Amino acid sequence: MKKFERSDGSDDESKIKERFYDTLSLAADEYYSKVEKSDPEQEKLIKRLEKQVERKAEIGKEATEYRNQADFIYANQTEIEEIIRLAKAGKFDKLEEKYGKLKKDLKEKSIEFEVNQ
């Protein structure tokens, strides 16, 4: 297999030198090793794109989770309003009676209890 290359990188065809390779694969390896030089800017952009694709997948998962939470709240809106009303009135005994054990923090003005979806 023959390969022709310019010895000084110019466009003058009289300065082309001939090289021989045993196989086409060796000639191709030689050619592509010189042609495919990495561009630092391109590498930077590729890494940025990979991070963006990864973050997009994470955001998609978060969006699904938030959508499920919103659907649950919407589906149970009446019950949630009753829970808020009872909690504001300080009727924690009725809340525990109806919804089971709850954690209350009067200092933080919060309550927590298990909800079965």
**Other Cβ atoms closer than 10 A to 25:** 10
Its pTM stands at 0.51
Give me the mean pLDDT over the 83-95 stretch.
85
Domain boundaries, the chain: 2-35, 40-113
Q: Identify the DSSP state of 22.
A: S
Residues 43-80 have pLDDT tens digits of: 899 999 999 999 999 999 999 999 999 999 999 899 88
C-alpha closest to that of 83 among 97, 70, 69, 71: 97
Q: Identify the pLDDT of residue 67.
A: 97
